[in-house]
Structures are given as structure tokens and as C-alpha cells.
Structure 1
């Protein structure tokens, strides 16, 4: 078994934390930003130093490749993203990039024999923090391979027309057109040239830590659905309109939300998660009774039958009035559970078992680029423990030792894939 270098990993963690340093221990590094250019420049510097060939595609995804013994063999790629949410941490996404770099550096430093070319990769705009949607590039690249019902979300021209949250006059396509690392569409990852993809990522939850494990062997990304629950009432003066005559959309929504929690919890699925994270209220004036209220509900579970049970509960909302208000349930989008490649999962499982690192099998509740690429290239993921389960926050933390150990697991899993029959 081979092991990666702790000092090299520590140096990469400290260096990349400077690019977009928000001043509180974390980073704000939006995709295509000056801060992201600094991170990509560092990627190029370090990968060029070990003799890797650098390529970029038309979405500014970046590929650093070292050759294998067989020039005709397909590549094995390790990939994640270098962009962050606002005031995010130093590990989400970028750890997967640093880990891929460390694998290549270890292979070169120790002259580890391998047949297939090995590639470290950066995906553009995974977070979608400035230009929605999230996982934009991986969704666009895998467009032709994903189920048709998902395609509308990632049609190329639609992605290019995505507008900046910071500057609505700027589209993703316009900013991409002048971006330093925009390249050629011919360089995109594709099934003809790539054998497998591995993505290393922090867990972003507390399951591994609670179980006393350092590494998660990821088997799938959970199915997810997003609905908007809309309530239509009647606006009136807050001081003069009697309580008994009101059609308060906010009050109606609050009653319905409590009902949803009660009914969904009755299903008894402990691993079912659902969240109300966004609301819209009109007219949003303290002296006016709200005539409209809209809240989101994000629901995630592996089993589609469980998701259908929740759908049935949501459908009941439209069958009654809530405080005199009409309710409308609108599907935003949904995705099926994505199962990763069994052979690659076995390689990860074998690699971590041989390392004596505490591990367990785990399912991903969060979305990742790997879920879309799995439609076109065999793919899997490796999770490493997150302190207190926290992510998308500046206090996000995984020890350098845990990071290095997880990268060593990926290195050995990649080497197993390299030796496996094509």
C-alpha cells in the first residue's frame, strides 16, 4: 500500500486557503472570480512542476494529466471543484482537487507504476453561488447521457444565459468568454477517453464522526425533490380589518407547515430529511395583511416509494382551505437516487480496509458533480469526516492527518482500478 505525504497536504491546505480568504478562517471564492483564477494558477503551477499536461475545455473545466505506460489506455480522473459558497470553508470541494493533485505528486515522487494516464481535474461552478444552478458544468457535460427529464436543467444555451446574482446584467456566458482558463470543447471528459472518475469530498454531515469513522465509502447520492407551496389570501389594512374576516397567507402557510411536519414524521422514516429553506411573502409590509406566501420544501431519501409517500401528503394541501386561503403545490425539480459503480466502490472498500483506517459505507445526502458524471463514466466517491458535521461555513474543518489518509485511500483505489480489466 502507498501513502501520501502529510507535509505536502498541509502546504496545499494552507496555500489554497489564501485564495479568497474572507478574514474569518474561511473563503469566498466564486466560480470565474479573480480568487478562482489564483487557485487555478496554483493548480497549474504545481501540476506543471511534476510534468503534467494541462488542458481546459469550453466550460473552463481543467485537466492535469500524467501519462501511463499504455499510451492508448483510457484516463482515470480524480475531480472536484475549487469554487465556494459565500463565507465557506477551506475543504468543501477544494479538498478533492488538492487530493487529486497529491495523488499525482505521490505517483511521480515515488515512481509508482501505472498503466492508465492519471488526471487531476477542477470542475467549474459546482456551487452555483453566483451563477445558478449548482453543478452547472458537470450537468452540461453529461447532458447527452442523463435521463431526458433532467436535461432541461442543463441545456447549454440556458446555462450560458444564467445571470449573476451579484450583477444581473452579467451572464455566465459573457463572463466565461473572457475567462483566462476557457478552452476547447474537444477537451471535455467523455466515455471514449475516460475509464473512471473518483471524487474525494468532506462528508458535510455528522454521520462519520458520530460513528467514530474517518472515511466513508459512498454508495449513492440520495433522490431529491423540491416543491414550492403557495398560499393565496387577501391583502387588507393591519389595523382596521377584523381578525375573523382575514385571509392571512402567512398564517395559512404556518399552519400548513406544521401539518406537513406532523404528517411526514408519522411515516416513521428516520433517514428521511426535509427542509423549508426559502420563503417569499407579499407585500412584505408591516401594516398590510399578507395576500401571498410561498415556501420551499426540499425532500431527500434513497427510496422513490418514500418520496412518493411525501408527494401524496403534499397533494392533500390543495384539497382544503387554510385560514380561508387557497393552496397550490408546484414541483420545482426532482432527481432519482444515483448509485455509483460497484467495481469502483469495491476498489475503495478494499483500499480503506487495507489501510486500517476506520470506515463505513455511507449515502450522500448532498449533490456532487460525481452524480451527473456517473451517467457517462463509471464513478464513485470517498468521504472524509467533517468536524462536528459542519460545512458551508468558515469553521468547516478536517485535520491534515484525516485529509492525507483519505487521499491515500483514493490513491490506492485508483491503482486498483488501474490494474483492473478494462
Structure 2
């Protein structure tokens, strides 16, 4: 069994944390930004130093490849993203890039024999922090292979027209056209050139830490649905309009949200998670009774029947009167549970057992580039713990030893696939 280099991993973590340093231990590194360009420059510099060939595609995805002994073999690719949310951490996404780099560096340093070319990759715009949606460019890559009902979400022209949250006058396509790493469409990942994808990632939750395990053998990404729940009342002066005559949309939404929590919790599914994270209120003036309120509800579970149970509860909302307001429930997003390739999951499990690292099977409640690429080529993921379960925030942290263990597991799993495949 081969092991990656903990000192080299530590150096990468420290170096990449400088690009977009937000001053409080984390980063803000939007896709296509100057900070993202700096991170990519470092990736390219280090990969060229080991003799990797660098390619970029029309979406600015970067591929760094070292050859295998069989020039006709398909590539085995490892990677993730280098962009972050605002005031995010130093591990989400970028660990998958650093882990892929570490695998290639270890193979070159130790002269490990392998048939297939090995590729380290950076996906563009996974977070969608400036240009929605998230996982944009992996979705575009996999567009022709994904279920028909998902295709509209990642239609190329629609994605290019995505407007910046920071400056609505700028589209993703316009910024991409001026980006240093925009390349040629012929370099895109495709099934005729690529055999499989491995993605190393932090867990982003507390399950591994609570269980005292150092590696998560990921089996799937949970199904997810996002709805918008909208309430319509009418506005009036807050000081002069009687309480009993009001159609207060905010009050209606608050009452309905509490009812939702009670009804969903009655289902008794402890592994079901749901969140209201975004609201819209109009006119948002302290002296005016709100005439409109809109909240999101994000629901995730592996079993589609459980999601359907929640959906039925949501659909009861418009049938009721909430503070004399009308209610509308609108679907915003839907995805199926994505199960990883069983052969690849098996290689990960074999690798971690042979390395003697504590581990457990786990699912992913968060979305990742790998879930869309799985429609195109066989795919799997490896998780390492997140301290206190924190992610998408500056305290996000995973020990360098655990990061290196994750890379070592990925290296040996990749070699198992390489040896088993033509």
C-alpha cells in the first residue's frame, strides 16, 4: 500500500489558503475571480513541476495529466473545485484538488507503475456563489447524459446568461470569455477519454467525528427538493389598521412554517433534514403590514418515498387559510438520490481497510460535482472529517493527517481500478 506525504499536503493547505484570504482564517474565492486565477496558477505550476500536461476546456475546467504505460487507456480523473462561498473555509472543494495533486505527486515521486493516464482536475463554478446555479460546469459537461428532466437546469446558453449576484450587468459567459483559463471545447471530459472520477472532500457535517472515524466511504448523494412557499396578503398602515382585519403575509408565513415543522417531524424520520434559509418580504418597511412573504424549504433524504411524504405535507398549505392570506407552493429544484458506482466504492473500501484507517459508510447530504459527472462516467467520493461538523464558514478545519489519509485512500483505490481495468 502506498501513502501520500503529510508535509507536502500541509504545504499545499497553507499555500492555497492565501488565495482569497478573508482575514479571519478562511477565504472568499469566487469562481473566475482574481483569487481563483491565483489558485489555478499555483495548481498549474505544481503540476508542471512533475511533468503533467495541462489542458483547459471552454468552461475553464483544468486538467493536469501524467501518462500511463498504456497510451490507449482512458484517463482516471480525480478532482474538485477551488472556488468558495463568501467567507468560506480552506478545505471545501480545494481539498479534492490538493488530494488529486498529492496523488499525482506521489506517483511521480515513488515511480508507481500504472497503465492509465492519471488526471488531477479543477471544476469551474461549483459553488455558484457569484453566478448561480451551483455545480454549473459539471452540469454542463454531463448535460447530454443526465435525465431529461434535469437538462434544462444546465442548458449551455442559459448558463452563459447567468448574471452576477455582485454585478447584475455581467453574465457568466462574458466573464468566462475574458478569463485566463478559458480553453477549447475539445478538451472537455468525455466518456471516450475518461474512465472514472474520484472526488475527495470534507464531510461538511459531524457524523464521522461523532463516530470517531477518519474516513467516510461515501455511498450516495441524497435526493433533494427545494420549494418556495409564497403568501399573499395586502399592505396597510401598521399603526392604524385593526389587527383582526389584517392579511399579514409575514404572520401567515410564520404560522405556516411552525405547522410545517410539526407535521414533518411527525413522520419520524431521524435522518430527514429540511431547512428554511432564504426569505423575501415586501415592502420590508417597519411601518407597513407586509403584503407578500416568500420562504424557501430545502428537503433532503435518500428515499424518494420520504421526500414524497414531505411533498404531500407541503401541498396541504394552499388548502388552508393562513391569517386570511392566500398561499402558493412552487418547485424550485429537484434531484434524485445519486448512488456511486459499486465497483469504485468497493475499491475505496478495500483501500481504507488495507491501510488500516478507521472508517464507515456514509452518504452525502451536500451536492458535489461528482453527482452530475456520475451520469457520464463511473464516479465515487471519499470523505474526511470536519471539525465540529463545520463547513461553509471560516472555522472549517480538518487535520493535515486526515487530509493526507484521504489522499492515500484515493491513491490506492485509483491503483486498484488501474490494475483491474484494460
TM class, shorter-length: over 0.9
Once the two structures are TM-superposed, the CA of residue 356 in structure 1 deviates from its matched residue by 1.1
Once the two structures are TM-superposed, the CA of residue 115 in structure 1 deviates from its matched residue by 0.4
**Deviation beyond 6 Å, 4+ runs, structure 1:** none
Aligned equivalent of 2:43: 43
For residues 248 and 46 of structure 2, what CA distance do their matches in structure 1 show? Answer: 59
Residue 285 in structure 1 maps to residue 295 in structure 2 = no
Aligned equivalent of 1:366: 366
Aligned equivalent of 1:107: 107
Alignment of 1:228-307 (within 5 A): 228-307=228-307
Residue by residue over 1:52-93, the C-alpha shift from the partner in whole angstroms, topping out at 9 and shown as x without a partner, is 000000000000000000000000000100001111110000
For residues 289 and 26 of structure 1, what CA distance do their matches in structure 2 show? Answer: 40
Aligned equivalent of 1:29: 29
Q: Secondary structure at the match of 1:327?
A: strand
Q: Secondary structure at the match of 2:295?
A: strand
For residues 88 and 258 of structure 1, what CA distance do their matches in structure 2 show? Answer: 30
Aligned equivalent of 1:72: 72
Point out where structure 1 has 5 or more consecutive residues left out of the alignment.
none
Q: Secondary structure at the match of 1:99?
A: helix
Aligned equivalent of 1:182: 182
Aligned equivalent of 1:334: 334
Aligned equivalent of 1:16: 16
For residues 283 and 29 of structure 2, what CA distance do their matches in structure 1 show? Answer: 34
Q: Secondary structure at the match of 2:115?
A: coil
For residues 293 and 177 of structure 1, what CA distance do their matches in structure 2 show? Answer: 38
For residues 100 and 421 of structure 2, what CA distance do their matches in structure 1 show? Answer: 22
Aligned equivalent of 1:147: 147
Aligned equivalent of 1:84: 84
Residue by residue over 1:78-112, the C-alpha shift from the partner in whole angstroms, topping out at 9 and shown as x without a partner, is 01000011111100000000000000000000000
Residue by residue over 1:169-225, the C-alpha shift from the partner in whole angstroms, topping out at 9 and shown as x without a partner, is 111000110110000001010101111100000000000000000110000000000
* TM-score normalised over the length of structure 1: 0.99
Once the two structures are TM-superposed, the CA of residue 235 in structure 1 deviates from its matched residue by 0.9
Q: Secondary structure at the match of 1:285?
A: coil
For residues 277 and 141 of structure 1, what CA distance do their matches in structure 2 show? Answer: 29
Aligned equivalent of 1:193: 193
* TM-score normalised over the length of structure 2: 0.99
Aligned CA RMSD, in angstroms, stands at: 0.6
Q: Secondary structure at the match of 1:162?
A: coil
For residues 91 and 330 of structure 2, what CA distance do their matches in structure 1 show? Answer: 35
For residues 15 and 282 of structure 2, what CA distance do their matches in structure 1 show? Answer: 46
For residues 284 and 89 of structure 1, what CA distance do their matches in structure 2 show? Answer: 32
Once the two structures are TM-superposed, the CA of residue 375 in structure 1 deviates from its matched residue by 0.1
For residues 401 and 315 of structure 1, what CA distance do their matches in structure 2 show? Answer: 48
Aligned equivalent of 2:52: 52
Q: Secondary structure at the match of 1:351?
A: helix
